Each structure stands twice: as C-alpha cells, then as structure tokens.
Amino acid sequence: MSVLKRSIPVVIVGGGQAGLCASYYLTKSKIEHVVLERSQRFHSWKNDRWDSFCLVTPNWQCRMPDWHYNGDDPNGYMVKDEIVNYLEDFANSFKPPIHEGASVEKVDRDKDGKFFVKTSESEWIADSVILATGSYDLQTKPEFAQNLNPDVFQISSKSYKRPSDIPDGVCLVVGTGQSGVQMMEDLWIAGREVRLCVGTAPRSPRIYRGRDATDWLFEIGEYSKTIGEQPNPKLTESKTNHYLSGRNGGHEIDLREFALKGLKLYGSVCNMNENLIQFKKDLNKNLDRADESYLKICKMIDEYIDKKNIDAPQKPLFEKKWLPEEEIEFLNIKKENITSILWCTGFKTDYSWLKIDCLDSTGRPIHQRGVSDEQGLYFLGLNWLHTWGSGRFLSVAEDAEFLVQNIKENLSSSKNKTSCFQSL
C-alpha cells in the first residue's frame, strides 16, 4: 500500500472538541491544515461514556466557537446523546478537513527542522503541529490489582456502560472522582449491591443560596483565573475534579448521606492479595477533606454575596450527617461476596509517539498557554492549560483562538523574512 506524503502548514493531532476548535479558527483564517483522528471524531463522547452520562456543568457553559448552546434548557445538563448532537452540529457547520481512522505513530522534526507526522497511511511535513489529544488517554490502575483473585471481574470506568455490565454480587467501586461517585450512584439507583472506596477527591455544592454553584463561581471570576495565578500551579494541575452530578436536573453528592442509607464506605485501597483487600485508614480524613473543599466554595460565594449586597436565600446550616464508627483495614472478598471491582482511578496522557523533547519529568507538556518552547509546537485541550475551563467546553475555544493567532503571526513573520531575503 502506497503512503501518502504531503506538505501542509498545520497538522492537528486529535479530532475531539479541542482539535476541531483549532480547525474552526484555522479555517476561518484560511490556513490550510489537516485534522488527524485515530478513531472517529468525538469517539470518546460516543463510546467511552456510560449510558446515563450527563454534563456536571450547566449547558450554558457549552461555548464552542460561534456555536454556543442555544437550546431551551441553558441551566440543565445535557445527556450523552445531546452532547454528541451538539458537537456534530458544530462540526457540520464548517466541515473540518478531518481524516478519521488516522492513528498517529510519530511526531518528530525532520532534517530541515520542519515537523514530520506519520500515520499508518500517510506522512505529513508541517510548519506547525497542534497536539489536541486531551488528558484522558490511559486509565491508571495500581499494579497490585493483578494480585487479586482472577475470579473477581475487574472493569475500568472507560469500559463501564450500564449496571448490567457488572456481574451479580457486590461491586466495589474504587475512586471518588466524578466518574467514581456517579457510577456508584448509577449502580445504587439500579438496586445493585455496591460499595465505595473513598479517595481524596473534593466535592462541590450543586445549588447554593438559590443558584448553581458553578454560576456563582463564574460570576465571581474564579473560572477566569489563570494557572499562573494559582498559589501552587503544579498542585492545581494535578488536582482531581470536584464531584457532583447533573443527573435528573442536577444534585450534589454527599457520601455521608449515602452511608446513612446503607452504602458501605472504605478508605483508599492500598493493596490486594488473592482474596484480601487492604485499605488505608483514611476514610474519615478523606470525607473531611471533601467537606472542607465544599465549605471553601460556600464561603467564597457567601463573601461575594455579602460584598455585592446581593439578595439571596440565607446560607444553610452545614452538618456532618454521618461519621464512620471504625476504619476497616482488611476485607475478605469471599466473605463479603465481592465479585467485581470497578476502577475509577483516573487517567494520564500518552505521548509515546511524540519524539520531541518538550515534556517535564512527570510527562506533562512544558508550555505557556499551550505554546511550547519548541517553535511551532502547540498543546490544546489539557486540563488547566490556561484556566479551569481549558479542558472543558467553557474555555477550550478561547485557547484554540489564542494558538491560531500565534500560528498566524509566525506564518506572517516567516513570509516577511522570505520576502526580505528574496529582495536582497
């Protein structure tokens, strides 16, 4: 099979919402480019989410370029199919030059200093490359998981779709990020036997003093603060998202309430060996930490209401509705009839195909608002690329526009240099 070879000003790697935002602004600027997508556009939204998935941020925060949400429920939370339709409509509005099924095998510099991008079917020479592959390539799972009795069914959050995916018996959900608590609730609502290992993830109020907490935070200006304005940027980049839900109109998730209803909670998993699971004695600490985050958000909103003298409902009384009587350290899966583990332990990026030295010791890109130190190399769609909304519908378009403007300036500068050289 012959390999297509072509030179082009810009190659975008990744055809999700970030990549297509960049494509939109390049199209608008009449800059020739191609989008390389290893699966199909919006594959992760179509195939890597569970059936009852919905946004945890209100619909009004969906702000693709010149394609803001304009439905009849701006304060609601779109379900999976609605999100896909919204994205598809955006893509169809400008027909991006996307090559689906084009898995990138290598990004490197060629001997002339240009970028060399190789897929299984094509090779591209580009002046600029935008890496828009996101933050959720590889699911992380502790190595000790392989020590567990092989009779126990293990499934990742990316593979979970519905309660019927889980065999009969008790399912232990590991992780309390957004996916973990929502999948736990999905199983709980379905009447399945489920238990939860509580990690260090923070939680957030949903409706607080008459409005969605995210509405307050947006108005306060919290979402416009840049990563450079954070007290500890590296720590901020690594933080887990606050857990809450948009299901059935949206609600907050208080694990203490679930415990009162009978949900068994444990601390963080620290080891597994055949039929034995070991937990850290950090359940109470992790519940308190989640509450501290919750109360910090409430306090921020309270202070803003007081400062602006806003007429809002009185703040509710906060109380810890449940406290663990003991911290369980060991659990025998046979005695407890635990037949499955649902791993919701986060993701990491995969840049194994990137052969350019532009990552730090942790494997995270080195950049300033997506602009790499490597001239012409850009990153887009990462969590906290610039602000809280960078990896979300809220601000990914702003970041894409910024990068494309940088590319335009570089192209203009190159043309001017060429013109000056030719005139000599």
Query: What are the domain boundaries of the chain?
Result: 4-137+349-423, 140-343
Residue 125: the pLDDT is 97
Place of tokens 């993830």: 201
Question: Which CATH number is 4-137+349-423 given?
Answer: 3.50.50.60
Q: How many residues does the structure list for the chain?
A: 424
Q: What is the pLDDT of residues 333-374, one digit of tens each?
A: 999 999 999 999 999 899 999 999 999 998 899 999 999 999
- Name the 3-class secondary structure at 105: strand
> Average pLDDT in the 247-266 region?
97
Question: Can you name the residues that pair with 271 across neighbouring β-strands?
Answer: 278
Between CA 236 and CA 244, with CA 241 as vertex, the angle to 5 degrees is 150
Assign 423 a pLDDT band (cuts: 50, 70, 90). Answer: very low
Asked whether the beta carbons of 6 and 125 are under 8 A apart, the reply is yes
> Average pLDDT in the 129-135 region?
94
In whole numbers, what is the pLDDT of the chain averaged over residues? 95
Q: Which two tokens stand for residue 149?
A: 């009795």
